[in-house]
Amino acid sequence: MTPSRRRRGRLAALAAATALALTGTTAGVAHAEVPPDAPEQIKNGDFGEGVAPWFSYGTGPLGVTDGRLCATVPGGLANPWDAAFGQDAVPLTAGAEYELSFDVSATPGANVKAVLQLGAAPYTQYANVDAAATGASQHFTKTFTAAESNPSAQLVFQVGGAAAEQTICLDNVSLRGGEPPEPYEPDTGPRVRVNQVGYLPGGPKNATVVTEATTPFAWQLRSAAGAVVASGQSTPRGVDAASGQNVQTIDFSAYRTPGTGYTLVADGETSHPFDISGTLYDRLRSDALQFFYIQRSGIAIDGDLVGEKYARAAGHLGVAPNQGDTSVPCQPGVCDYSLDVRGGWYDAGDHGKYVVNGGIATYQLLNTFERTKTAATADGGAALGDSTLRVPERGNAVPDVLDEARWELEFLLRMQVPAGKPLAGMVHHKIHDRNWTGLPLDPAADPQPRELHPPSTAATLNLAAVAAQCARLFAPYDAAFATRCGTAAKTAYAAAKAHPAIYASPTDGTGGGAYDDADVSDEFYWAAAELFLTTGQAAYLTDLTASKHHTGAVFGDRGFSWQGVAALGRLGLATVPNGLPTADRNRVRASVAAAADRYLEIIASQPYGLPMPDDKDSYFWGANGNIANNAVVLATAFDLTRNAKYRDGAVQAADYLFGRNALNISYVTGWGEHAAHNQHSRMFGNQFDPTLPNPPAGSLAGGANAGLQDPFSANKLAGCKPMFCYIDDINSYSTNEVAINWNSALTWLASFLADQDDAAAVPAPTCSVSYDNYGTWHGGNGFTAQVTIRNTGTVAVNGWTARFAFTGDQKVREAWMAKVTQSGATVTAKNESYNARIGPGGSTSFGFNATTAGGANPAPGLVTVNGSACTLS
């Protein structure tokens, strides 16, 4: 489902002292003359195309009435700048003459001020017009000479400060003058497009060449020293629909020698350098996760962990000028209480915190860890264990990825409506600033009041799903927290069933994204699946199997995201050991492989090799996250089937993100020769203020978006082919924002890629294992089980170590016929002296007693012997 994320706009003014500072301003000279054929710099000034790209803050929803842009403005606002209409990305040229004109009315009547200004502190004014607006529309005009150039000025109409409520309407807004906009020409570098990070030795190695040639040409793979190490002929692919380019592709997968600084030479061009290495993505796993720590709210960021330039004070703890998240009231009329909702992650480039986006992001971090229990290549989660990441909780005997997820989980739990209140058990949809804030802005310097927005069924089910996941994953590490999560999950699910159709308003987009969603059947399916996986209870099985999503198509060509989460339920049921009937479980798993087969077809059809169709509608806000999620499905199919074609598909999908695309740009900061580094963010404002950092390494940009929902990209990229609808500029929030749900998809994929090492041929199993649970003890607080290992290979095993992981709180109490230890959920069994040898066709067994507080207790989904995965029987 294509995301319909609401705009993340800019403010004009933060406060009287800074927003309208007049130092260095000019209104131009009185004799400025603008020729009649001067170019127009305002987009959609007659509102014939609707509201876009106009924004507002402090007003009611914008709408077009009788061809005019209108909104209601509340009375009693303290200052004119407390409410405004506006447009960003208005270009000005120093010394050029301009005419600013507009029609305005106000009912019953108010003063309106048009200000052309710098769109960030110190909000320097270039021109302004004071208009005494009445109920009848009046025309106002001013000519001026621009004192300085600004390719992205801001025009705002300040409409606050009147005693009575007003209806303000604008029409015929125009700024004529200056020069026609220069066409934007991106620097695409060499015409040979590669994964600028590199390739796994045994994996696929593909490149795309932009060329006028229509017949094959020779290519050469060269070492860092310039030696030709491989060569061949290209494959013509014709015109790529997504980019409009005539292209050919190169496949050099047969070359497998590790090395650094390789280049590909073809058609007279030399690619960016890249490596061939089995450790290519090891650091990316850590970098992608580091993003979340730096996005944390309510904690000081430690520069010793992540670099001094990212150190900052804790945001939104009520320390002036913050009004804080420790006691946040609801929007007027929503509730009569305040909640402590500190913590969590800032969602994206703003300072808002949204449950539905936090839900999928938390799920993917938790699932990155949960995958290590069942994926043969994951090495039991060693790379995600304690003290593997740059987080302050390292060294606490809990896997660091769980520590990071817990920071958001604690926030999500705090968003639940307290017992005894109306809608108790439901979850508030979001919390953010009352009005939009400008860029850049450190979280600790945000002066805006914070507000809780109404509860929604979607948010409630997001909490039910991730809290259920939390309950089983934290059980071996923190039983009290796991119990708290489990209770919250059940309470939320029951509340959602009691209130199944409370939807977030699509117009609630002032100060933060709306994140509206009027179909929550997928959230019900996901939540029921997670609760069933954790508890094993029949009621949740009944609900999930009754859902249309259980047998429906949940893996669309354009991937999944926060607004379509049925795929999360399907992936969980396919990978987490559970009590689904065997035939149903097999069908669920087959559906993952079928979706992966479809993505492989799409990859094969795309000259740039990405698992996304080539039509305009497939390039939308945050599409890079959906591309990564399609790669997640491919990777999961590999984990389930051990068929290398799915692994190769996931590996190849990463090529697009790291530079094999029409723009020849890596969308991940710090990864690749030419990488995005000016993503839209209030914290990472280096483009506006050189003393601030760029986004940290491992930050994924939203990517090419044919919708161009921000004025900066609309001005620069009008008419772009879909794959060219991206610009690495902080002003382009619709193509170049960062977001936790995109980085969570990157995190999952990065962890999978790092686990593949050389991507060598998948070995055939040489062992089989049966796991027999003989049932619970009297009282139900424990069980007895036996594991039988059979040698299906042709060589004797001399000494063995078996390993598997429980799904929840199970704990081995005593064992026989093996030395058994347990760390977290992972059980390790080593042979005794008398059963060390298992000859070909032979077998041995060990047994154990284990305690459990209840819940699901399925057989393990993966058992390894001496590090190799065994067939389960």
Beta strand spans in 268-384 (E)? 269-270, 274-276, 328-329, 338-339, 353-354
**Burial class, 499, CB count within 10 angstroms (exposed 0-12 / middle 13-18 / buried 19+):** middle
The C-alpha atoms of residue 721 and residue 738 are separated, in whole angstroms, by 22
Structure tokens at 679: 């993503």
Residue with tokens 């390993």: 803
Strands of 864-865's sheet, edge to edge?
819-823, 826-830, 801-805, 864-865, 868-869
Do the Cβ atoms of 822 and 803 come closer than 8 Å? no
Count other Cβ atoms within 10 Å, centred on residue 63.
15
Do the Cβ atoms of 341 and 472 come closer than 8 Å? no
Angle, vertex CA 732, rays to CA 678 and CA 450, nearest 5: 90
Specify the DSSP class assigned to residue 672. Answer: S
Specify the DSSP class assigned to residue 680. Answer: B
The question of whether 680 is a catalytic residue gets the answer yes
The C-alpha atoms of residue 389 and residue 392 are separated, in whole angstroms, by 9
Which of 316, 549, 550, 680 is an active site residue?
Answer: 680
Torsion angle of C-alpha atoms 437, 438, 442, 445, degrees rounded to 10: -60
Query: What are the distances in angstroms from CA 164 to CA 16, 203, 439, 790, 867?
Result: 21, 68, 31, 83, 74
Q: Measuring CA to CA, which residue among 818, 825, 806 is closest to residue 848? A: 818
Structure tokens at 799: 């000494």
The question of whether 350 is a catalytic residue gets the answer yes
**Burial class, 811, CB count within 10 angstroms (exposed 0-12 / middle 13-18 / buried 19+):** middle
The C-alpha atoms of residue 475 and residue 466 are separated, in whole angstroms, by 14
The C-alpha atoms of residue 731 and residue 25 are separated, in whole angstroms, by 23
545: CB partners within 8 A, 6+ apart: 584
Count other Cβ atoms within 10 Å, centred on residue 867.
10
Q: Measuring CA to CA, which residue among 313, 542, 476, 315 is closest to residue 805? A: 476
Do the Cβ atoms of 744 and 345 come closer than 8 Å? no
860: CB partners within 8 A, 6+ apart: 373, 374, 577, 771, 804, 805, 806, 872
Which of 433, 737, 755, 757 is an active site residue?
Answer: 737
**Helical ranges in 448-565 per DSSP H:** 457-474, 479-498, 521-535, 538-546, 548-551
Q: Measuring CA to CA, which residue among 277, 288, 285, 372 is closest to residue 639? A: 372
Do the Cβ atoms of 624 and 657 come closer than 8 Å? yes
- Single-letter amino acid, residue 203: G
**Burial class, 78, CB count within 10 angstroms (exposed 0-12 / middle 13-18 / buried 19+):** exposed
Do the Cβ atoms of 809 and 535 come closer than 8 Å? no
Which of 325, 350, 404, 451 is an active site residue?
Answer: 350
Residue with tokens 């479980």: 585
The question of whether 393 is a catalytic residue gets the answer no
Q: b or e along 415-434 (b: 16 or more beta carbons within 10 Å of the residue's beta carbon)?
A: bbbeeeeebebbbbbbbbbb
Compute φ and ψ for 349, nearest 5 degrees. -80, -5
The C-alpha atoms of residue 520 and residue 516 are separated, in whole angstroms, by 10
3-state secondary structure at position 403: helix
Structure tokens at 704: 């090419």
Which of 728, 755, 757, 809 is an active site residue?
Answer: 728
The C-alpha atoms of residue 461 and residue 455 are separated, in whole angstroms, by 11
- Helix or strand run (H / E) with residue 598: helix 582-605
Annotated catalytic residues are 350, 680, 728, 737
